[in-house]
Amino acid sequence: KERKVQFSRDWQAIDDPFPIEVGREVQRLTHVGQRTPLVTTETGFHVATYLAERPAENISFADAREKLRDQIFERWRTARFLEFTQALAGSHTIEADPDRLSATAP
């Protein structure tokens, strides 16, 4: 605790990938339970564990639609909101007038 060491369990995210050095080590894992060596990057220290293997699912799009929608909707909505607010903010400028601010101060 004194050394300010932190531990977290993170999953790879589509919009926030791990560094490439971590990916190289993960690709070397071959069986469940295997662990990478300690990988040091600019973002920190990483250790990955091969947890499980899931076989491919052969299901129709109609059957997968709800699951896919649930998985991607929140990220899509957040991205669209950020695009919208950036477009609104892009057409505005901010000006500061310290003389007027000091005149209203008590």
Burial 63-99 (b: 16+ CB within 10 A, else e): eeeeeeeeeeeeeeeeeeeeeeeeeeeeeeeeeeeee
Please state the pTM of the whole predicted model. 0.46
In the block, residue with structure tokens 């669209």: 80
Band (pLDDT 50/70/90 cuts) for residue 104 is low
Across 64-80, average pLDDT = 86
Q: Which residue has the higher pLDDT, 103 or 55?
A: 55
pLDDT of residue 105: 65
Across 49-66, average pLDDT = 87
Percent of the chain with pLDDT over 90: 24
Indicate the average pLDDT of the chain.
84
pLDDT of residue 21 exceeding 70? yes
Percent of the chain with pLDDT over 70: 92
The Cβ of residue 39 has, within 10 Å, a number of other Cβ atoms equal to: 18
